[in-house]
Amino acid sequence: MNDKVKGFVVGAVAAATYGMNPLFALPLYKEGLSADSVLFYRYSMAVAMLGVIMKFTKQSFALKRRELLPLVIGGLLFSGSSLFLFLSYRHMDAGIASTILFVYPVMVAVIMALFFHEKITPVTVFSIVLALSGIALLYKGGDGGPLSFAGITLVMLSALAYAIYIVGVKVSALRELPGAVLTFYALLFGLSIYVVRLKFGLELQWIPSWTALANILMIAFLPTVISLVCTALAIRYIGATPTAILGALEPVTAVFFGVMVFGEQLTFRLATGIVMIIVSVSLIITGKAAAGRLNDAWFRLVKHYSRK
């Protein structure tokens, strides 16, 4: 596979695995663990897993001085995004939170356009609109009354922190770091947030059961190690904006597990939303060719009417 194909594949994997967060987090909440304790175990075990993988594959842990500060900031941003998202689960349904979180591709595109002069093509704009329309169809909370303002605020802060993290990886020295190294140090520095919030372990809750331990191991591996490594690789191969838009697969993952694991009904509205998201992702994959055809059509249209 060439780098572009690799980028789209690992970007899709990153989005799908990150969408598994509620699958493992909600059972841990039911067993009495706080968001801070869940995230502390998630990050610490993910650091241990990734460290073992890097050691086994003989990857270097060495860093350059210019990479240190961006890594600290990136780790705190990603960790802050996780914290805001997991706190929002206390105020609204996790599926709705995951749905609202998808505003982050829009934030990435806007940040890249405003501060780094990245061109937003008509295909990109259409893909974002189509994906957001599909997300709106996946939203199931409208009949249950107004959403929590605190919950919405927390999810929006989570999306903003994640968008800045993605852009930061794209435009800083971190772009050249191997994905595993970037993820290892981002998680390591991000872990400091929960160490402080848990008063250096004094308020850390014990893992209550073997089932909880299994969920912690899974949340550390799939939505953390796998997702973050794949995100870093996707940003390197295809850029920040396409990687962010591929995040449309996150709520699709949530719907899939809702139907297959928790027995939720797959309605026509949900199916339509999923199809719209898949189409939007397909447009991103073929974006360059589609953008060229769309621009050619636009210029022909302008030229045609300018003659009249």
Q: Which pLDDT tens digit goes with each residue over 263-286?
A: 767 778 778 887 887 787 777 766
Q: What is the pLDDT of residue 305?
A: 55
pLDDT the model gives residue 197:
95
Q: Between vectors from CA 86 to CA 183 and to CA 78, what angle results, nearest 5°? A: 25
Contact at 8 Å (CB) between 288 and 119? no
- Look at the pTM and tell me if it is higher than 0.85: no
Q: pLDDT tens digits, the chain, 308 residues: what are they?
A: 688 889 899 999 998 898 888 889 989 999 999 999 999 999 999 999 999 989 998 889 988 888 899 999 999 999 999 999 999 988 877 777 877 787 887 788 888 888 888 777 787 788 888 888 887 776 654 444 455 778 888 998 999 998 999 899 888 888 888 878 888 999 999 999 999 999 998 999 999 999 999 999 999 999 988 988 898 888 888 887 788 778 778 878 877 777 787 676 777 877 888 788 778 777 776 665 555 555 565 556 655 555 55
**How many angstroms separate the CA atoms of 277 and 16, rounded?**
13
CB–CB of 111/219 below 8 Å?
no
pLDDT of 47 reads 95
pLDDT at 145: 46
The pLDDT assigned to 142 comes to: 46
pLDDT value at residue 301: 60
The pLDDT value recorded for residue 283 is 76
